[in-house]
Structure 1
Amino acid sequence: MTAPSNLTGDPTMMLVEASLRTVLTKGIQDATEIDSRYERLWQSIADIVSSGGKRLRPRMVLLAYEALGGRQPQTLAPVAAAHELLHTSLLIHDDIIDRDTSRRGRKNINGLYEAFYQPYHLDQKDRVHYSYSAAILAGDLLLAAAHQLVIESSLNPRQKTTAMRFFSRGIFEVAGGELVDIESTFMPPESSSAIMIARYKTASYSFISPLLSGAALAGASSAQLDHLRLFAESLGVAFQLSDDLLGMFGDEKITGKSTDSDIREGKLTYLIEQYLALTPLESRATFTAAFHNTNASPEDTEALKRDIERSGAREKTMLEIESRAKIAEESLDKLALSKSSHDKFLALIHAAVQRQK
């Protein structure tokens, strides 16, 4: 298990990586005492966590902590690492929900286990079921490990309670957002709001929880936390809408994910909401043929993408992203941070809405 190369030279982030290695190594060692098959699961988990990534959520914990006056960032390394484990846990569970077998161009946990179970005399349905079962356990183990990192950190009891409060709230909100997102695929479109889903499914744990955790542990005031919350909510929604665009119009070689899966799964994204609002019923032939149709052909999904583009839905989504980013910038200004910290937050906005993967 090695640190991603983009972390070289960042002392606090290297401590985050050390925290991750410690908890994963211990998991592997303890699992060995139970059964070699359990060790295999932990090794698969460790490989996924150590496979790279931007470590965006740990960076946000540390960014907010230092920007709001924190002076001992090294003490927050376990908390920052816990947010990375939460992120990976949720990705594992999300892949099960989406019935995906790969992420970032490589097999995920259930993809690995589906291949591992191939030699056994199982029909396809059972093989998928058992591989999903292993992945559910992997996600659950990472949730437990994330809590363990905070509990065993050097923070004082009051700080641990603060960290756990934001951490647990993030889990609570993302579960609600995930449920509504799932049900939006088969319930009437008007029963859900893509913006609301983005707020709770993405912004909650990816932006609000890590930023507010770091700020609160630095001793931020209630007013500062309010401004930061609006910043995080706005940027989190913009991030998700950008992700929706990449999920349909991105480069699969860069994103490592199919640009047809959201269509076939029937994901009610903001992009789709805008398409439906802009397109009369009688002009939705390509939508009817491809959307929420797991057997839709590549030709059907490409035809729908072209219609979405022509409808103006993509442009409307881009405008909404710009609007949310502007709200984030206005909230940032109210925090009255140092120029250095302000510039780092501006870079975060840019990274969230201008990304390619």
Structure 2
Amino acid sequence: MATPQEELGIRIEEALRQRFAERTAVAETYGESFASLWRAAAEHALGGKLIRPRLLLEAHRALSASYGGSVDSVAAVNVAADVELLHYAFLLHDDVIDGDLIRRRRPNLIGVLAAGRGDEPGDADLHWARSSAILMGDLLLSTSLLGFARARVSTGTRVRLLDLIEHTIVETVAGEHTDVGLSDGRIAPDLRTILAMSTYKTATYSFSLPLRAAAILAGASPEVEEHLAAIGRHLGLAFQLQDDILCVFGDAALHGKDPYSDLREGKETAIIAYARMTSAWPHIEGRFGSLTLSDDEAAAVREHLRTCGAESYAQSLVTDELAAASAVLRTAEESRSISAEVAATVRSLLARVESRRA
């Protein structure tokens, strides 16, 4: 018998498979190449951790018990699936921007499409693959937005959901735009800008969106939604900071990301912002952002980052954000705007984020 967690995953996967099956069937009208693109996208979009939709449904279950919504709402499952489609749309565009061909330790959609005619993709292969990824990302972004608009909920709930998804898309794109500007040297890499970028790019859609959508679907008040949005921002920033730490100091075999990719790409993070202010920076600057950086050179850069205190500083920021999320939760509990059951769900989420250490 499936556990509650497994049941959530099954329901989300079923909703996602249905989405892709319906759209692949329609795509057949426009030729085999277009239908093949949908099938390839489905293969890569399915089978993930489903962090965001699971969070939405877990929060919705707790909120519904407190505010009278339906615990097993079909609308919640469908919106959760649409959140995952939004996530995959952002990943596709992100892979194009970053020039990545690998994700989850295997070729991503671009890598698969580019390698279709040989082991070493040429310029034409990469153009085809990246163009296809951009177009598929656009389609999935549209599909997600339409899913929110077509949710079987009251008019008032639909308006709140649409306001939320609009805000989420704008803020996430603003964060990505800043990230590109930082990487390309168009925006000054100060710590405040980097932390704001991380909040917009990751926290908004990965944590605040599912928590806020759950509150809206459960019929919770705007006050509850605001508390959960703030908690989501702090947790999301902690999560992104942890990701940055793992990419430089973690075990690539465990976290599944390309080792030293952030150093080779010249990704501006809180780690790098801190290092710029130390005497170690002259030893790092010449190698940072070099696509030809060898593993030995990258290891040397990592050691400089560690000894100058950048790793410890980034870890302290994670601790601060987790503490801030806990403080918001305590305030919400004291004002009785969040029930004990909802608070327990948030604490479980806090514990899961806390456990992600390098």
Matches within 5 A, 1:218-257: 218-257=218-257
Matched, 1:45 2:41: yes
Match of 1:131 among 129, 132, 135: 129
Partner of 2:150: 152
TM-score by length of 2: 0.90
Match of 2:281 among 261, 281, 284: 284
Q: Secondary structure at the match of 1:335?
A: helix
> Is the 1:173–1:201 contact (alpha carbons within 8 Å) kept by the matching residues of 2?
yes
Cα distance in 2 for partners of 1:158, 1:227 equals 20
Q: CA deviation at 1:123?
A: 7.3
Cα distance in 1 for partners of 2:219, 2:274 equals 41
Q: Which moves more between the two structures, 92-101 or 65-74? A: 65-74
Partner of 1:106: 106
Cα distance in 1 for partners of 2:229, 2:191 equals 26
Per-residue CA deviations over 1:68-122 (Å, capped at 9, x if unaligned) read 3252142311111111111111111111111111111111111111111438xx9
Matched, 1:213 2:210: no
Cα distance in 2 for partners of 1:43, 1:7 equals 30
Counterparts in 2 of 1:129 and 1:206: CA distance versus 1, 3 Å: same
Match of 1:298 among 295, 301, 309: 295
Partner of 1:263: 263
Per-residue CA deviations over 1:151-173 (Å, capped at 9, x if unaligned) read 33322333222212111211110
Per-residue CA deviations over 1:310-343 (Å, capped at 9, x if unaligned) read 0111011111101100111111123334444322
> Is the 2:114–2:126 contact (alpha carbons within 8 Å) kept by the matching residues of 1?
yes
Partner of 1:352: 353
Match of 2:17 among 21, 25, 39: 21
Match of 1:36 among 26, 32, 37: 32
Partner of 1:82: 82
TM-score by length of 1: 0.90
Cα distance in 2 for partners of 1:124, 1:353 equals 43
> Is the 1:245–1:271 contact (alpha carbons within 8 Å) kept by the matching residues of 2?
yes
Matched, 1:143 2:144: no
Cα distance in 2 for partners of 1:6, 1:43 equals 28
Per-residue CA deviations over 1:259-291 (Å, capped at 9, x if unaligned) read 2111111111011111112x22xx434312321
One-letter amino acid of the counterpart of residue 52, structure 2 = R
Cα distance in 2 for partners of 1:194, 1:348 equals 24
Q: How many residues are paired up?
A: 347
One-letter amino acid of the counterpart of residue 39, structure 2 = Q
Per-residue CA deviations over 1:244-270 (Å, capped at 9, x if unaligned) read 011112222222211211111111101
Cα distance in 1 for partners of 2:205, 2:121 equals 37
Cα distance in 1 for partners of 2:147, 2:352 equals 28
Partner of 1:202: 202
> Is the 2:69–2:217 contact (alpha carbons within 8 Å) kept by the matching residues of 1?
no
* Percentage of pairs with the same residue: 29
Cα distance in 1 for partners of 2:270, 2:84 equals 27
Q: Secondary structure at the match of 2:346?
A: helix
One-letter amino acid of the counterpart of residue 348, structure 1 = L
> Is the 1:79–1:149 contact (alpha carbons within 8 Å) kept by the matching residues of 2?
yes
Counterparts in 2 of 1:10 and 1:164: CA distance versus 1, 3 Å: farther
Q: CA deviation at 1:191?
A: 9.1
Q: Which segments of 5 or more consecutive residues in structure 1 lack a partner in the other structure? A: none
> Is the 2:191–2:270 contact (alpha carbons within 8 Å) kept by the matching residues of 1?
no
Q: CA deviation at 1:127?
A: 2.0
Partner of 2:326: 329
> Is the 1:325–1:349 contact (alpha carbons within 8 Å) kept by the matching residues of 2?
yes
Partner of 2:174: 176
Q: Which moves more between the two structures, 10-19 or 102-111? A: 10-19
Cα distance in 2 for partners of 1:148, 1:25 equals 17
One-letter amino acid of the counterpart of residue 284, structure 2 = F
Matches within 5 A, 1:337-348: 337-348=338-349
Cα distance in 2 for partners of 1:298, 1:351 equals 31
One-letter amino acid of the counterpart of residue 136, structure 1 = I
Q: Secondary structure at the match of 1:294?
A: coil
